[in-house]
Amino acid sequence: MKKLTRQQQAEDFLISEEGRQKHSFNYCAVRSTLNVLGGKWKLLILSYLITGPRRYGELKRLIPEITEKMLIGELRELESDLVVERRVYHQVPPKVEYLLSPYGESVKPIVEAMLDWGEMYMSRPEGPLTKGCKMIERTD
């Protein structure tokens, strides 16, 4: 059986009888956003996908500090939450690309705003706190 993502678990709970009794309020939109986009790697992965489709190997090279298991898991969760699509090309050698789904396209303004803020923060008068940060190429 397929493992449910955090958001799927939250939605299942909130529509259950127990969830309705414990939480008379509507589910929190911020919590849902964090369930889907939160974590150490998802926004970084999405920041590379907003420029277009990427192959698994490209993503691994762009984010060398992520383990293969974690990258696969994060991509699967994003796919399960309908933010990312996995496109398989039936050819030899096999080719798989990851891209934003039509629904995932709505995440672009959020990620772009975070990129803008990050660039502003990195160029502050005090300078960057660390060295060697790879800047993401933007296509404006």
Per residue in 47-56, pLDDT tens? Answer: 999 999 999 9
Alpha helices in the chain (DSSP H): 6-15, 17-22, 29-37, 42-49, 56-62, 68-80, 108-122
By C-alpha distance, which of 130, 51, 140 is closest to 122? 130
Confidence at residue 126, expressed as pLDDT on a 0 to 100 scale: 75
| pTM score | 0.74
| Residue given tokens 């995932």 in the structure block | 104
In this predicted structure, what is the pLDDT of residue 35?
A: 83
The answer to whether 62 and 72 are in contact (CB under 8 A) is: no
Question: Which structural domains are found in the chain, ordered by start?
Answer: 40-126 (1.10.10.10)
